[in-house]
Amino acid sequence: KLAAAIAKGLVAGIAEGDSVLYLGAANGATPSFVSDLVGAKGMVYCVEFSPRAMRDLIRVCEQRENMVPILADAR
């Protein structure tokens, strides 16, 4: 939903070089979009609670140097 909103013109306040804490990263689809926004100089810290979703998230993070998977409860 975030990716669709940004594509429709939402100003999300995410710029190249930013560090983003993404809570509820799930399988990494939307965080990978954020990864594109922050670029090589930025970083996306992806927090996910579910070990099953984390498995998929790790695969995405292995393909992107600016994404870090974190298995934790965001509460």
3-state SS, the chain, equals CHHHHHHCCCCCCCCCCCEEEEECCCCCHHHHHHHHHHCCCCEEEEEECCHHHHHHHHHHHHCCCCEEEEECCCC
Q: pLDDT, tens digit, for every residue of 51-72? A: 999 999 999 999 999 999 999 9
60 lies in a domain? yes
Q: What average pLDDT does the chain have? A: 94
- The pLDDT, as a whole number, for residue 65 is 98
2 lies in a domain? no
7 lies in a domain? no
6 lies in a domain? no
- The pLDDT, as a whole number, for residue 10 is 83
55 lies in a domain? yes
**Domain of 36?**
17-71
- Predicted TM-score of the model (pTM): 0.90
